[in-house]
Chain A
Amino acid sequence: MATTTSTASESPMDFWGIVLGIFSLGNLGNAFWMLASPPNWYENLPAGVPDFGPLNEHFVRDIGAIYLMIAVALAVAAFSRRWRFIATASVTVYLALHALVHVLDTLRGLVGPEHWLIDMPGVYIPAILLAFITWKVADQPR
């Protein structure tokens, strides 16, 4: 009979696992919203999306696919300490680049200066916090 052993690297949820797991659910919801109804997402996400230009349903679904992958990566990070750092770091890279695009588009005037505040909760803060989490989990046992 095969036996299994529980190790520190694959033990049940810890603090960061719970944080990443719930964050994964938020991204999963966003992904399904984008994939299911791009016009509804475009009009109703409280992030001033129309400010950036007219709706392109194909591109919204493209980005929805990216957010689905982000949700999967965060779920992997939540449940597996072995993969936590690399998964979290990967998502952090995307969120940082996404935030950089918003910075550049705001600086070049594509959107108004009100977007510094508008983009704070959905773009800048998640990138900063996930970078912090990546730093915190970097030295966790794997």
Chain B
Amino acid sequence: MEGGRPAALTWPRLLAAVAFGGYLAVTPFLRYSSYGHSSIPHGNHAARHGGQLAMIGDHHVELRRADGRVEAFVSDAWRRPVRPRSGRVRFDGGRRAPMQWDSYRMTAADVAASSAVAVTIELNDGTELTADFDFTSLAND
């Protein structure tokens, strides 16, 4: 079809149309080599949510303190988000609080005066990730 009246829809053209449309419709949902987060394991160690990032083995935990909450974003080696089984947080080596899953991260009420925050995340396979975060510079601001 080059202008004017469309060409007749033969079987080869029908199959080509289905393939073309299928490509357009499905490709955005396919997983491919880079998967969509980092092309290589540990290829991206940037904090994405304005917090501090810790690498624990093949996982990452980014901790952010905002609006009276402590938020932990857990991801794997490629920085794909991971939903953990549970989590807990400890402030200045003392007060502890359990973390709850909220949409896309673990959260708990913050203790604003604290400068050291230790987070323990339990993954679904039972693996525990523990990281210590130091917010001393922020506490002095």
Contact = CB atoms under 8 A, between A and B. Distances in A.
Give the residue among A26, A140, A141 with the most B Cβ atoms within 10 A: A26
A29 B30 CA distance: 13
Contacts of A112: 38, 44, 46
B68 interface: no
B30 A121 contact: yes
Interface string A101-142: 000000000001010011001110110011000001001110
A85 interface: no
Contacts of A121: 27-28, 30, 32
B95 interface: no
Query: Looking at A54, A117, A126, which has the most chain B CB atoms within 10 Å of its CB?
Result: A54
B103 A15 contact: no
B21 A22 contact: yes
Interface string A18-40: 11111111110110000000010
Interface residues of B, number: 44
Interface string B15-50: 011101110111111111011111100011010110
Most chain-A Cβ atoms within 10 A of its Cβ — which of B9, B21, B44, B79? B21
Contacts of A72: none
Contacts of B104: 39, 42-43, 50, 54-55
Contacts of A13: 9
Interface string B63-77: 000000000010100
Contact of B39 (A54, A57, A117): A117
Contacts of B138: none
A23 B21 contact: yes
Contact of A50 (B25, B35, B48): B48
Given A39-B103, A50-B48, A126 B9 contact: no
14 contacts: A15-B16, A19-B24, A22-B22, A26-B24, A43-B104, A54-B73, A54-B104, A55-B103, A114-B38, A114-B44, A122-B27, A125-B27, A139-B4, A140-B3
